Amino acid sequence: MQSDHRRRWLRWPQGTNQTRIGYGADYNPEQWSPEVWRQDVRLMREAGVNIVSLAIFSWARLQPTAQTWDFDWLDEVMDLLGDNGIAVDLATATASPPPWLTTAHPEILPVDRNGHTIWPGARQHWRPTSAVFRQHALALVTEMAKRYGRHPALAAWHVSNELGCHNAWDYSDDAAAAFRIWLADRYGDVETLNAAWGTSFWSQRYGDWPEILVPRLAASHPNPTQQLDFRRFSSDALRDHLRAERHVLGQLTPDIPVTTNFMVMGQTQAMDYASWAGDVDFVANDHYVVPGPQALDELSFSANLTRNLGGGRPWFLMEHSPSAVNWQSVNVAKAPGAMLRDSLTHVAHGADAVCFFQWRQSASGAEKYHSAMVPHAGPDSDVFRSVVELGAVLGDLHEVAGSQVVPPHVAILFDWASWWASELDSHPSSRVRYRQEALDWYSAALATGTRADIVPLSADLSRYDVVVAPILHVVDAELAGRLVDFVEGGGHLVTTYFSGIVDRSDHVHLGGYPGLLRELLGIRIQEFAPLLEHESVALDNGTSGTLWTDQIEITDRETHCVVTYLDGPQSGRPAVTRRVLPLRGSATYVSTRLGAGGIVPVLASVLRIADIIPELPQALRDKVEVSVRAGDDSVFTFLINRTNEQLDLGALASQGTQLARTGDISDPATLGPRGVMVLSSARGSAPAGNRAARRRHHPHQLAEVEP
């Protein structure tokens, strides 16, 4: 029953088309007069907007004092939107407490690791563990649910906003007390905690729970397991707030789906979203492009991971930007067509709703230079014309709604514990960047013309032929066993430097590196050999490595050297090894950071032995991204031009009926700069099956192309 409950999608208002892709934005009518509200609704209808997120930062307006409420303005806006067929994703408005609350109760304010109070004046100035804040927040949630739970425009509840964006790590006394409770639940008694934390080192042994603190500023490196557990606790504390609000909403409005907007993007690492996904009815995400050579790869990576956090089901893109943002050092406007390309890339990866921050660009406040669907220039602008165009394209794609992405043959594991633990202080290198390494492998897959899933650790590995586990630093016996079973079952595993090193308590697996993966890989490493910042090493396959090297000893007759170091401290030794199990799978180890370009030949060699055929011809690889969604009867193929050039798609353009295409190119086989083409074809009868069957019957092979 609970599983079915969590599969709920938006509750579209009665009388509207239920098969459609959501389209809209954060809407902040409290910044504008009622005359502007009516103009907004008219423009929303022109743009094809069918849903908005409302009341996100409205607490101070809704509750002007501790004893008074003002819902009249929100009643009017809800009715206005509903009367015009626009659904509402209604926020609980708890993201930022009003001034009266922080004035009366300054004890709800967060504290940084130096003991400094985080004062009001921006947003999210509250402690996740504050009982006082929780009491006031849930009182607001209760009032919102009672008043709007039966409103016909209500499509979903939006808990808080970007939980943990600015208050993930709180070092207050409330946090310390809650941390002790969390630790007692995790370990049971202090002696078990002492063993897990290795407190014999530096005379840190604890005699009783009150002695334990959060890892505030210390004279040297704080206990690493304490730091790791604090990150786990902090993510759980935010999730506990999500659950508390959800509980109230579930009691009062059990038929309304509940979500909150994740931030699967960039370096947002504080929240373990893999553990949160079960607490929402559908996953929602905010994503903003950060300029750079891998910007489009990162967008695709984040959308891909978001989908897989939700078990592959359709998800909600809650925020992205129509053009420039306001928080980068230089905020560059998007090129023509880029906004449509970015939006449709999310749809290609399973998003069934595409929304922006925000609808109308603010005239004041900290985000007044952040772009919006209606910019400062007004509707007579290129931005708004693109907004209208995107609305029309999404309307054309209505039959895509509800379909799911067809899983590829390749998966890249993503593990928050390894991300946290591998980047702690007092390590062989402080330059290890977990997410960047994972992104590099994803970029390499795109460059080979091969789709890959980004999946959490809990994913079913048997669905894939190749699994890449970059910097899988934290490995326990259960995970090691799963990887062995995967390889012995015919799968092909790739892992990298600094993998398999510690257990869940951040204790090193003794006997040599890479710890619990030694036997599976057939290698042993006695000592790490990281590189200095400006050092690199040449490899005999024409690439080079940075950041890290290992002095590898091959210990198994089934393991051989694939790539060799040509120079540096490991000159003549293996840089990449592979253990091949006869009639089964393989396990490859990469001992240096290759970067996306250097990974390509290594990954290509694994794809060859796994008998995986690229889905794009050579001429289009690294220029076009492909994603495939499938419904009950149809397959939808998205072809995304990642370049600023006009591309001839050749036979790919005839693989189905054209549902939509962006750009003004008349030739049906040509895709303009930053253009997107969506094709529809009848769903084939090929089974998903096991790995061997999938290789024989490739249900989503786009064309016969060279490997």
Residues 355, 339: Cα–Cα separation, whole Å = 12
634-641 and 624-630: which strand pairing? antiparallel
Residue 355 DSSP SS3:
strand
Contact (Cβ atoms closer than 8 angstroms) between residue 496 and residue 590: yes
Helix H or strand E encompassing 3: helix 2-5
Q: DSSP letter at 544?
A: E
Contact (Cβ atoms closer than 8 angstroms) between residue 414 and residue 408: no
What residues contact 430, with CB distance under 8 A and at least 6 apart? none
Residues 266, 264: Cα–Cα separation, whole Å = 7
Helix H or strand E encompassing 422: helix 416-422
Q: Which residue of the set 162, 245, 437, 625 is catalytic?
A: 162
319 is an active site residue: yes
Contact (Cβ atoms closer than 8 angstroms) between residue 321 and residue 370: yes
Beta bridge partners of 629: 405, 636
| Burial class of residue 264 in the structure, from the number of CB atoms within 10 Å of its CB (0-12 exposed, 13-18 middle, 19+ buried) | buried
Contact (Cβ atoms closer than 8 angstroms) between residue 190 and residue 157: no
Residue 179 DSSP SS3:
helix
Q: Which residues of 550-580 are buried (b: 16+ CB within 10 A; e: fewer)?
A: bbbebebeebebbbbbbebebeebbbbbbbb
Contact (Cβ atoms closer than 8 angstroms) between residue 440 and residue 600: no
Best CA proximity match to 321, nearest among 302, 340, 307: 340
Residues 35, 20: Cα–Cα separation, whole Å = 29
Helix H or strand E encompassing 493: strand 492-496
The answer to whether the bond into 63 is cis (omega within 30° of 0) is no
Helix H or strand E encompassing 178: helix 173-187
51-54 and 87-91: which strand pairing? parallel
Residues 565, 681: Cα–Cα separation, whole Å = 48
Q: Which residue of the set 245, 298, 319, 437 is catalytic?
A: 319
Residues 284, 282: Cα–Cα separation, whole Å = 7
Q: DSSP letter at 368?
A: T
Could you tell me how far CA 577 lies from the centroid of its own chain? Answer: 31
Could you tell me how far CA 51 lies from the centroid of its own chain? Answer: 22
Contact (Cβ atoms closer than 8 angstroms) between residue 412 and residue 514: no
Contact (Cβ atoms closer than 8 angstroms) between residue 169 and residue 279: no
Best CA proximity match to 180, nearest among 204, 221, 214: 214
Which long-range contacts (C-beta less than 8 Å, at least 24 apart) are formed by 306-309? 306/262, 306/264, 306/349, 306/350, 306/351, 307/283, 307/349, 307/350, 307/351, 307/405, 308/453, 308/454, 308/455, 308/456, 308/459, 309/262, 309/264, 309/273, 309/274, 309/277, 309/283, 309/456
Contact (Cβ atoms closer than 8 angstroms) between residue 424 and residue 590: no
527 is an active site residue: no
Residues 698, 349: Cα–Cα separation, whole Å = 19
List residues with catalytic annotation: 162, 319
